[in-house]
Structure 1
């Protein structure tokens, strides 16, 4: 009789991690739900984990043979802490690693791109999820969402550039398949929603769905970098503002079939996401 697979989910209380834990446990998978401040999670074993505290690694990895990797937030050089952890994960028996990266960062690129580039040499079974920007950025606790709630404004340096915004539920669905299918999909999986929208388009949809006017205020790269630096390290603020600039240049104006191909269902549209969030909250 084979031993059931155990998945370590890092960032288990985060946007994609929490959704992934619910999916895995609902299907009877064994899950170690890791976070800096562990709390009871139905159907999972909660463990403490901190990227910057290597003493938490061994307990988190105990018994796990696959891992979902969420990089440390706001770190311009996550490889510094992630690569030593991955070496330890491999030594402890982890066979498959699924990394959450970004559509804007290729293998070998800056930040988490360095971790992406290293995965194939560390694990035989691996996958890199490269989702586009999250729809939840406009409806959750992101800077954009807070700005929308407080000022009715989205600030960005994206100009008229378009993005294939994706629902975090769809990212979690792809992650589930990447972790539990007989074979890891490998390579890098660019995950988008069904359509590419400008930030102005997003503001228009939110205005229609909520009944409150939402506008998109266009900033320069320098203005956006300075704005972000008020709430995060300057280096990370510059990185994010630079991503806005690449959006303005058309780098994210695309859609992919990744969600449909791996899950068998179409990704959710931004309008459907907004209607679910705001109509549900008004019930």
Structure 2
């Protein structure tokens, strides 16, 4: 009589479909899931390879890509289509299809400035609890990475040493995308889903003058914050090719920052992950070329 080999431990979960798996939070979420041994289907428009994950092609505007992407998935991380002022038009049909295909938990990336039922992705937030028994909406503040990676702020810092906003002296609890992803992994895989929206911030609220000073100190190059009016900000964003309605939405968010709407910090990252959120200066030291 021979002894049968011991079974190899496997994740009790099905696959997690990570939409936007090459983006700022999607790539980190996919990596975090894979590091914990979960099956990951990494969805992007070009089925780009992601370490530890199965690449799948997915385009919000091509429903023919949706069924194959959902195959074998029982949970999904949702990054809305970038720049779409009405993402619900494409997201809600997909979510109904996902539920029918066996997805039981959905985690949506929204924003701290967008409440349930509000503009843009706020409509998807409002619908999510009625579609899935297990769900969460992540509402992070502005990303710290906006000042060092692919973003209009990072580009203007590199080219001109300038950050332009209509936020005035308003402060924001900027959050590290690594912390957003860490919360996403917990929301996707913990035994109990949050079944709520989670406002995510860093450890302190900073004004754009503070951000400029920190980047200047880290790089040794002058960086300043130029204050725009709402109209100037809207027109500048539109000139980059952004849809006018979405440009107006973003400029309006800056105006709300100037009025104090984002001057807050939360304990959500600590509470969900068990560790404190990272600071902006720590991010600069870790990721910015020439940081110190």
Task: Give the alignment's TM-score, normalised by structure 1.
Answer: 0.97
The residue that corresponds to 1:27 in the other structure is 36
| 1:121 is the counterpart of 2:130 | yes
CA distance in 1, matches of 2:66, 2:163: 39
**CA shift digits 1:106-139 (9 cap, x unpaired):** 0000000000000010000000000000000000
Q: What RMSD, in angstroms, separates the aligned Cα atoms of the two structures?
A: 1.3
- 2:265 aligned to which of 234, 238, 255: 255
The residue that corresponds to 2:244 in the other structure is 234
The residue that corresponds to 1:80 in the other structure is 89
CA distance in 1, matches of 2:163, 2:112: 21
The residue that corresponds to 2:70 in the other structure is 61
| 1:101 is the counterpart of 2:128 | no
CA distance in 1, matches of 2:50, 2:26: 12
| 1:144 is the counterpart of 2:189 | no
**CA shift digits 1:114-169 (9 cap, x unpaired):** 00000010000000000000000000010000000000000000000000000000
The residue that corresponds to 1:270 in the other structure is 280
In the TM superposition, 1:37-52 aligns within 5 A as 37-52=46-61
CA distance in 1, matches of 2:47, 2:24: 15
The residue that corresponds to 1:17 in the other structure is 26
Contact 2:95 2:131 in 1 (8 A): yes
Task: Give the alignment's TM-score, normalised by structure 2.
Answer: 0.95
CA drift at 1:277: 1.6
CA distance in 1, matches of 2:84, 2:227: 26
CA drift at 1:42: 2.2
What SS does the corresponding residue of 2:175 show, helix, strand or coil?
Answer: coil
CA drift at 1:247: 0.2
Distance 1:164 1:282, change over 3 A: closer
CA distance in 2, matches of 1:34, 1:140: 21
**CA shift digits 1:54-103 (9 cap, x unpaired):** 00000000000000000000000000000000000000000000000000
| 1:164 is the counterpart of 2:164 | no
**Structure 1 runs not aligned, ≥5 long:** none
- 2:212 aligned to which of 203, 220, 229: 203
CA distance in 2, matches of 1:31, 1:65: 11
Distance 1:248 1:54, change over 3 A: same
Q: How many residues align?
A: 282
CA distance in 2, matches of 1:68, 1:123: 13
Contact 2:173 2:202 in 1 (8 A): yes
CA drift at 1:2: 8.4
CA distance in 2, matches of 1:189, 1:213: 36
The residue that corresponds to 2:223 in the other structure is 214
CA distance in 2, matches of 1:164, 1:183: 27
